[in-house]
């Protein structure tokens, strides 16, 4: 059935009998924050080429790519086997790419012929997977791209054409959220352009149709850093992609690959069980989730190497499940060598690196009543005001789990940061900024965490009407899009008390392997507060990977980095202050 001829009757039939209000956010997120580990499935006709889904469309040739579905016949598709492997791997929810950016629909949609029913396979993949997931007692989610690179009406400068596309896109969502039972999660993707419809329309409709549903945060995004760092008005959690975020109080989920691209590719090999487990533990220890992608091949099978790797991961997790599912991250925040989870009056230390028997951690502001390994063997410990010493009798080849039983609920303890590796006076101190793209990962605190992978990024300009740009063909890498964000601003660090500072180190976040994302700070200064005035103590033109300077020592409590001129989409990863003649800061 052609979209233009879609009868009004169909819209009426697929509307729910009763529209309901969304459940409270905390209630909707409860299952997701308990389960922690989900399976992402990127799949479609692109697997016939072994290239990336959607992103290979131009390189493959649009006409050739758009015709792949005519020979897409995954005769070995067995959704129960996918679900069996998910459960075997310890994954608790499943998210399928119902529609990726290429516009191909894996269900029996009435909005376009570009769907699975028009392929030689001719079966509703979404229905069969939904039935299998529900039968197995897992949670089901759809990945859905509001954009459609095949549809010429999508973000068409002619408003009426884009409106026609919006109607088709919203009808697709109605189908997905009305015809497949309970849908627990809607994973909206951002394809580099603003959402082709106002985000509120999608958000409201999703909750009318599925009151308990949760949504990720990509409806509002105008660049990837926004999707990584802020839930926004129409999202429940943030979505760092391809990397583990760190520690956050906002709900977050890393999505990454078990292999080396989102869709299946020829001769791909899965990452080691150790790498997968460490990724999961770093997510859970950071109070987040992991959505691990597995790409089935063009016949519909999860490749044998990936299947066996899932089972290997699940075998490792099973005896340690209590320290992963239903936990929160902390109180120890993630370090390179360890992460920590908590449940009741117990904390679980997961040692990820090192072979030594003696482990030193910052002190716990609680009494430790017992310390044991997974097998119940006692772990000797001693604690002073400044540190906790653990003697680990044996190490696991992947990660060593130590359970500490405390005299109080672990949730009563404030986050405990790792020992500083640099000795910066600014480490973990209170920091603020003139604007931020998002508080998580890219807030002011990202510059005082001894972690160059996180960075402060200036936020949206207050004089730009972002709402007016939904539906526009405005790519985030263009100068026009970058100019919608602040190019000047300040970052302030409060040391808590006056301290003597004689050395400054600033790191600018570098995207060395992607010239299209070029950005640069061109002029800046460093100041300290003296009374009610800010006094400049250093100036520079470019920061680059690292800028450092010794200064005439000053004693002050508050210091500022002032960005006076920049271009592109800058990020400052570290703003470090050291005492005079400090060796670490050199």
- 3-state SS of 432-494 is EECCCCCCCCCCHHHHCCCCCCCCECCCECCCCCHHHHCCCCCCCCCHHHHCCECCCEEEEEE
When pLDDT is cut at 50, 70 and 90, the band that residue 14 belongs to is very low
Q: For residues 70 and 119, is the Cβ–Cβ distance under 8 A?
A: yes
**How far is 443 from 463, CA to CA, in rounded Å?**
21
**How far is 293 from 94, CA to CA, in rounded Å?**
10
Q: For residues 568 and 519, is the Cβ–Cβ distance under 8 A?
A: yes
Task: Spell 532-553 as b/e; 16+ CB within 10 A means b.
Answer: eebeebbebeebeeebeeeeee
The better pLDDT of the pair 519, 463 is held by: 463
Q: For residues 253 and 280, is the Cβ–Cβ distance under 8 A?
A: no
Range from 283-292, 395-404, 512-521 carrying the lowest mean pLDDT: 512-521
When pLDDT is cut at 50, 70 and 90, the band that residue 9 belongs to is very low
Task: Phi first, then psi: give them for residue 234, nearest 5 degrees.
Answer: -125, 35
Give the residue from 456, 431, 460 showing the smallest Cα distance to 524. Answer: 456
**How far is 434 from 159, CA to CA, in rounded Å?**
36
Range from 331-335, 467-471, 516-520, 575-579 carrying the lowest mean pLDDT: 516-520
What is the predicted pLDDT for the residue at 248?
87
Q: How many CB atoms lie within 10 A of CB 150?
A: 16
pLDDT, mean of residues 95-109: 98
Task: Please count the CA atoms within 13 angstroms of the CA of 284 that sit on its side-chain side.
Answer: 29
Mean confidence (pLDDT) of the chain: 94
Q: Tell me: the pLDDT tens digits for 341-397?
A: 999 999 999 999 888 899 999 999 999 999 999 999 999 999 999 999 999 999 999
What is the predicted pLDDT for the residue at 583?
54
pLDDT at 17 exceeding the cut of 80: no
- Return the percentage of the chain with pLDDT > 70, whole number: 95
When pLDDT is cut at 50, 70 and 90, the band that residue 130 belongs to is very high
Instruction: Give me the residue label for tokens 């919203």.
Output: 170
pLDDT at 99 exceeding the cut of 60: yes
Q: What residue spans define the domains of the chain?
A: 29-319, 328-412, 430-578
**How far is 29 from 51, CA to CA, in rounded Å?**
34
Angle subtended at Cα 559 by Cα 553 and Cα 488, rounded to the nearest 5 degrees: 130
When pLDDT is cut at 50, 70 and 90, the band that residue 7 belongs to is very low
What is the predicted pLDDT for the residue at 5?
35
Task: Spell 298-337 as b/e; 16+ CB within 10 A means b.
Answer: bebbbbeebbebbbbbbebbeebeebbbebbbbbbbbbee
Q: What's the CATH superfamily of 328-412?
A: Golgi alpha-mannosidase II (2.60.40.1180)
Cis peptide before 228 (omega within 30 of 0): no
CATH architecture of the domain covering 29-319: Alpha-Beta Barrel (3.20)
What is the predicted pLDDT for the residue at 405?
98
Q: What is the CA radius of gyration of the chain?
A: 25
What is the predicted pLDDT for the residue at 245?
84
pLDDT at 44 exceeding the cut of 50: yes
**How far is 268 from 260, CA to CA, in rounded Å?**
7
CB proximity list for 366: less than 8 A, separation 6 or greater: 406, 407, 408, 410, 412, 413
What is the predicted pLDDT for the residue at 246?
86
What is the predicted pLDDT for the residue at 21?
75
CB proximity list for 476: less than 8 A, separation 6 or greater: 192, 193, 222, 223, 224, 482
What is the predicted pLDDT for the residue at 512?
58
pLDDT, mean of residues 408-420: 97
**How far is 510 from 247, CA to CA, in rounded Å?**
22
Angle, helices 159-178 vs 199-209, to 10°: value is 20
pLDDT, mean of residues 14-30: 72
pLDDT at 11 exceeding the cut of 80: no
pLDDT at 3 exceeding the cut of 50: no
Whether the CA torsion 226, 229, 231, 233 is positive or negative: it is negative
Beta strands in 47-121 (DSSP E): 93-99
pLDDT at 12 exceeding the cut of 70: no
CATH topology of domain 430-578: Jelly Rolls (2.60.120)
Tokens found for residue 61: 């040739």
pTM: predicted TM-score of the whole model, two decimal places: 0.94
pLDDT, mean of residues 228-249: 93
pLDDT, mean of residues 401-425: 97
**Residue positions counted in the chain:** 586
Alpha helices in 123-195 (DSSP H): 125-136, 159-178
Give the residue from 470, 446, 466 showing the smallest Cα distance to 458. Answer: 446
**How far is 30 from 15, CA to CA, in rounded Å?**
27
């Amino acid at each position: 059935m052609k979209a233009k001829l879609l009868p009004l009757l169909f819209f009426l039939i697929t509307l729910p009998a009763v529209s309901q209000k969304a459940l409270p956010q905390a209630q909707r997120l409860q299952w997701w924050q308990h389960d922690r580990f989900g399976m992402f499935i990127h799949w479609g006709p692109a697997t016939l080429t072994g290239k990336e889904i959607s992103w290979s469309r131009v390189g493959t040739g649009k006409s050739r790519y758009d015709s792949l579905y005519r020979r897409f016949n995954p005769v070995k598709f067995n959704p129960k086997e996918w679900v069996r492997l998910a459960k075997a791997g310890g994954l608790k929810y499943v998210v399928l790419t119902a529609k990726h950016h290429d516009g191909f629909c894996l269900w029996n949609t009435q909005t376009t012929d570009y769907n699975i029913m028009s392929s030689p396979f001719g079966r509703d993949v979404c229905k069969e997977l939904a039935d299998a997931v529900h039968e197995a007692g897992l949670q089901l989610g759809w990945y859905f791209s509001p954009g459609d690179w095949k549809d010429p009406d999508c973000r068409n400068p002619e408003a009426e054409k884009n409106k026609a596309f919006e109607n088709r896109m919203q009808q697709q969502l109605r189908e997905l959220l009305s015809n497949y039972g309970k849908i627990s999660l809607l994973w909206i993707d951002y394809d580099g352009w603003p959402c082709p419809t106002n985000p509120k329309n999608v958000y409201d409709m999703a909750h009318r149709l599925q009151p308990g549903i949760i949504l990720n945060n990509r409806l509002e995004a105008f660049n990837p850093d926004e999707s990584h760092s802020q839930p926004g008005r129409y999202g429940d959690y943030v979505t760092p992609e391809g990397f583990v975020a760190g520690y956050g109080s906002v709900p977050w989920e890393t999505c990454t690959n078990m292999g080396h691209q989102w869709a299946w590719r020829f001769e791909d090999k899965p990452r080691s069980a150790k790498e997968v487990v460490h990724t999961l533990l770093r997510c859970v220890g950071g109070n987040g989730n992991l959505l691990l992608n597995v790409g089935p091949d063009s016949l519909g099978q999860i490749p044998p190497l990936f299947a066996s790797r899932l089972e290997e991961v699940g075998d490792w997790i099973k005896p340690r499940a209590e320290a992963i599912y239903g936990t929160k991250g902390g109180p120890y925040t993630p370090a390179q060598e360890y992460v920590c989870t908590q449940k009741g009056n117990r904390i679980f230390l997961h040692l990820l690196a090192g072979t030594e028997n003696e482990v030193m951690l910052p002190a716990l502001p609680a009494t430790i009543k017992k310390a044991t390994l997974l097998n119940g063997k006692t772990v000797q410990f001693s604690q002073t005001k400044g540190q906790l010493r653990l003697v680990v009798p044996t190490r696991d080849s992947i990660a060593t789990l130590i359970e500490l039983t405390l005299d109080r609920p672990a949730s009563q303890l404030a986050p405990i940061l790792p020992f500083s590796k640099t000795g910066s006076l600014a480490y973990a101190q209170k920091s603020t900024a003139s604007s931020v793209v998002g508080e998580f990962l890219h807030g002011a605190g990202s510059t005082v965490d001894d972690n160059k992978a996180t960075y402060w990024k200036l936020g949206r300009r207050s004089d730009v009407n972002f709402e007016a740009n939904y539906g526009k063909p405005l790519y985030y890498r263009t100068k026009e899009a970058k100019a919608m964000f602040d190019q000047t601003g300040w970052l302030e660090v409060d040391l808590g008390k006056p301290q003597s500072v004689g050395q400054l180190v600033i790191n600018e976040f570098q995207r060395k392997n992607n010239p299209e994302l070029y950005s640069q700070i061109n002029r800046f200064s460093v100041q300290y507060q003296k009374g009610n005035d800010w006094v400049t103590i250093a100036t520079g033109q470019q920061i680059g990977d690292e800028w450092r300077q010794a200064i005439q020592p000053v004693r002050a409590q508050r210091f500022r980095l002032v960005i006076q001129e920049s271009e592109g989409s800058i990020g400052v990863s570290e703003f470090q202050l050291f005492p005079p003649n400090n060796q670490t800061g050199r």
